[in-house]
A and B are shown apart, each in its own frame.
Chain A
Amino acid sequence: MLLFTVRRVLSGLFLLFVISFLAYLLLSVQDIDVGQQVLGMGARPDQIDAKNAQLGLDRPMPAQYFDWLGHALRGDLGTSWYTGEDINQTVSTRLPVTLSLMVGVTLVSGVVSFLAGTWAGLRQGGIVDKGIQFLGVLGYSVPGFLLTLLLVQIFAVQLKWFPAIGYTPFAESPGGWLSTITLPVIALSTGAVAGVSQQVRGAVADVLRQDYVRTLRARGLPPHRVVLEHVLRNASAPALSVLGMQFVGLIGGTVLVEQIFALPGIGSMAVTYTARGDVPAIMAVVMVSVIGVVLINLLVDLAIGWLNPKARAAA
């Protein structure tokens, strides 16, 4: 298990390194003169050159990249080219907002999907099963932000149960925090539940068809025990890997949801800072989201390895 973990961590770090390099490479091919952009049209050529030199843009791309990497490894994400703000500061105020959403969505969609999916898998053709299938079509077919707009329209504009926009930090007011993230979490969870609950249902149905389930029942074990101990354990590995894959899509959903609810998180940072090619800020956004993906995949892999001894041996 230790070897398994170490290998997964190393491959995750390698992935991060490759992505950071590719991202930097792609971002550095923009053919605009950054110094001119920052200083405006009225700037003199020597001022522009000085600005570019100050930002390190007069050096070749590999030198720029390794300079960035060296600082990033020491935990310094640099300063924004355009506003001069400290990116570390920006990320640390924005990350809690996005994490609130992510943790909320993972908890809500995880719990709901597992309960509903298991129920549907055990009672195939029943009401929960039909509900999940309907939600599956709905969740896949209606883009998440459209559903979000609908939620805003009903619960914020018409019913006024929740604020339509804004964010209250948890430290300021837990109640306010809850009311500002409830709608966003529901909006993001719907799609995740639609995808994951169907996978849980399918996985449970698959395991129920396995020979060993029949054999365990033939030994006199009660069905609920077979389901809780054997079916769920075997079904949760495929379900977890889908939850991990959903996470990548969830980041995209967060960008739109943060924009709609005017939440000051990493997603809205992505929209704001990519309008101008603010490379340090964009790199921070890319790295934070890819680290999130790598971490989630690592957790999912470890959970699957813990659940399934064969996967542990194969890795």
Chain B
Amino acid sequence: MTDAPALTTAADTPPTAARGLAGRLMRNPLGATAAAFLAVVVLASFAAPLLAPGDPAAASLKDAFADPSGAHWLGTDSAGRDILSRLLYGGRETLLGALVTLGIGLALGVPAGLWAGYRGGWFDAVADWCANLVMALPAMIVLLASRAVIGPTVWALMIVLGVLVAPAFFRLVRGIVTTVRGELYVDAARVSGLSDTRIVTRHVLIVVRGPVVITVALVAGIAIGLQAGLEFLGVGSGDTPTWGAMLNEAFKSIERAPMLLLWPGLALGLTNAALVLLAAAMRDALEDRGTPARAARTRRAPAPEPARERKDASPAVPGQRAALLSVRDLAVAYATPDGTERRVVHRVDLDVAPGEIVGLVGESGSGKTQTAFAVLGLLPAAGRIARGSILVEGRELTHAAERDYRALRGKTLAYVPQEPMSNLDPAFTVGSQLTEPLRVVLGLSRKEAATRALALLREVEIRDPKRVFDSYPHEISGGMAQRVLIAGAISCDPKLLIADEPTTALDVRVQAEILDLLRRLRDERRLGVLLVTHNLGVVADLCDRVAVMQTGRIVEVGDTARVLHTPTAPYTRKLLNAVLDDVPARAPWRPDPARSTA
């Protein structure tokens, strides 16, 4: 259910993403500069016969190593040839060479990638194997070996290089197409009877366009660099001026005239840098993301405002604060990419007494999880507590240092996450993940910790504790993983368990078992539990009290029976109606405008 919105956006964005690319690119100063510079290089190189002040090959030994002058703006080289003319003509050779490589690479890589990704099967297997083979070949060695066969023509070598870069395009396109193939709009196109060729050209090609353009820029840089490298090594006819050949000649007289390296070096370096920067700007424009610097700023955000006496009527019971967890006037804010802050939790009051199970219900995005993370002190880097008070066993935590928080986590506060699999480290066995906190937090020896971890696994009703202890997370089931996470949460004997949708990812039968387990742990250990859920059935089954959250605010709080039988807030009534809609004997379908806006 959480996947649904992500799926539709992923399917919606690619076709629109590429459209505004040029516009967004031009608004990025670095990207615009790079694009402008490349345009100048391309124009100047192809207009070389018009712009060049002299013949690039006209040598004149008496002018050798001349300084810049009116006749030779950039001076002359070791044979007295005009450097500016050679730069311009060299640019043309270099760019044409890169074009050849790109043409071959695209012609081979893109269609093969489209077909392999779309169709799969034997073609995919063979093409992928070939791509792997080519990628294991060091390009420079292959190019040098090729010149032994085809002679010292850089043009032919650039064709070989085109074959060598084709896997880059193949891999890219194949990867994207494989993900896109399963998506809804491609299915829809297939259902509507379009031929495969038409689907690939009309729907799939459009998705790969942006990433391919970025790769073109990067590969062009690689091609220009390798080409210059080859010419620097002396592979080439020697008559045509190229940037690499100019560097080669300059290097020979490095002691006498080191400045000769400057111009071809600059031309090569700046052109390549412009290509890389352009690629980076295009990637940013495609992803349309903020810079990481902004996220860092929030870390030095101002301290939260202190809790204030409130004049408006509070939906929570005012006055006395619970002994275990007491939250007052809590606000959580997130930094947004444009530099402002957005509050996702407003003025939340919440109490959990020892041995009490309190439900925190609301739809996705209502701020339940953010409230839970704020209590644990585990908000993501961009989030912060903007104001309010969090008391745990009477201790104020909103200003607490990370070190003080750490002393509470495990021993006082514990956390059971929603998605069992992603919350276990795939690289470590279950046993090692259970014993590590026991050894670090409680200072147990390796053996004591192992004994205790096995006891914990038995306590959460795992039938074969030894096997699970030795397993890696991918070797156990989701329900088993959730039990392991509960075992981990209670391992250091906490007082308050914060469980974030602990049953949502599990099937119905396992859900009931996990809820029974939580109830038993509460009874045996007098645990206080803050149960974050969107499921009113779970609340009715388990919770003593319940707080209802909507768009970051608590709209109703009270004993579970009272709230479920005589709700006062309209939102609670709506949630209850939604549950009734879900009972097996369905009422006739009717549109619910309020639901679709939420």
Q: Which residues of A contact B (CB under 8 A)?
A: 15, 18-19, 23, 26-27, 29-30, 124-126, 129, 137-138, 140-146, 149-150, 152-153, 157, 210-212, 214-223, 225, 229-230, 233-234, 245, 248-249, 251-253, 255-256, 259-260, 270-271, 273-279, 282, 285-286, 289-290, 293-294, 297, 307-310, 313
Contacts and interface: CB of A to CB of B under 8 A. Distances in A.
10 contacts: A30-B149, A137-B276, A140-B272, A141-B277, A217-B378, A256-B229, A256-B233, A260-B251, A271-B234, A294-B136
B422 A212 contact: yes
B144 A255 contact: yes
A250 to B, nearest CB: 8
A276 B147 CA distance: 9
B425 A18 contact: no
B3 interface: no
Contact of A219 (B255, B277, B293, B410): B410
Contact of B269 (A141, A215, A279): A141
A288 to B, nearest CB: 9
Contacts of B472: 309-310
A282 B141 CA distance: 9
Nearest to A23: B145
A217 B409 contact: yes
A142 B293 contact: no
Given A141-B269, A220-B492, A234-B426, 10 more contacts: A26-B146, A140-B276, A141-B277, A212-B422, A219-B441, A219-B491, A221-B441, A307-B427, A309-B472, A313-B474
A102 B414 CA distance: 49
Contacts of A138: 273
Contact of B254 (A144, A145, A152): A152
B428 A230 contact: yes
Q: Which of B233, B269, B272, B381 has the most CB of A within 10 A?
A: B233
A234 B427 CA distance: 7
Contacts of B234: 271
A157 B292 CA distance: 40
B238 to A, nearest CB: 13
A254 to B, nearest CB: 8
B423 A146 contact: no
Interface string B281-308: 0000000000011011100000000000
Q: Which 8 pairs, one residue from A and one from B, show the smallest C-beta to C-beta distance?
A: A220-B410, A125-B296, A252-B140, A141-B273, A143-B225, A218-B415, A251-B138, A219-B437
Contact of A309 (B138, B276, B427): B427
B133 interface: yes
Contacts, number: 229
Nearest to B160: A26
Contacts of A275: 147-148
Interface string B268-279: 110011111100
B444 to A, nearest CB: 13
Contacts of B232: 145, 256, 259
Q: Which of B135, B378, B425 has the most CB of A within 10 A?
A: B425
B252 to A, nearest CB: 11
B136 A212 contact: no
Contacts of B254: 149, 152-153, 157
A168 B406 CA distance: 56
B136 A215 contact: no
Contact of A146 (B142, B149, B265): B265
B226 A252 contact: yes
B137 A225 contact: no
Contacts of A216: 425, 433, 436-437
A30 B150 CA distance: 7
Nearest to A231: B425
A233 B427 contact: yes
Contacts of A221: 410, 436-437, 440-441
A258 to B, nearest CB: 10
Given A125-B295, A297-B136, A271 B474 contact: no
A241 B224 CA distance: 26
Contacts of B136: 15, 19, 248, 290, 293-294, 297
Contacts of B274: 141
B378 A308 contact: no
Interface in B197-232: 218, 221, 224-226, 228-229, 232
A293 B428 CA distance: 30
Interface in B120-143: 132-133, 135-142
Contacts of B247: 145-146, 149
A2 B425 CA distance: 24
B454 interface: no
A210 B304 CA distance: 27
Given A146-B265, A255-B140, A277 B440 contact: no
A156 B333 CA distance: 56
A18 B137 CA distance: 12
Contact of B425 (A212, A245, A285, A313): A212
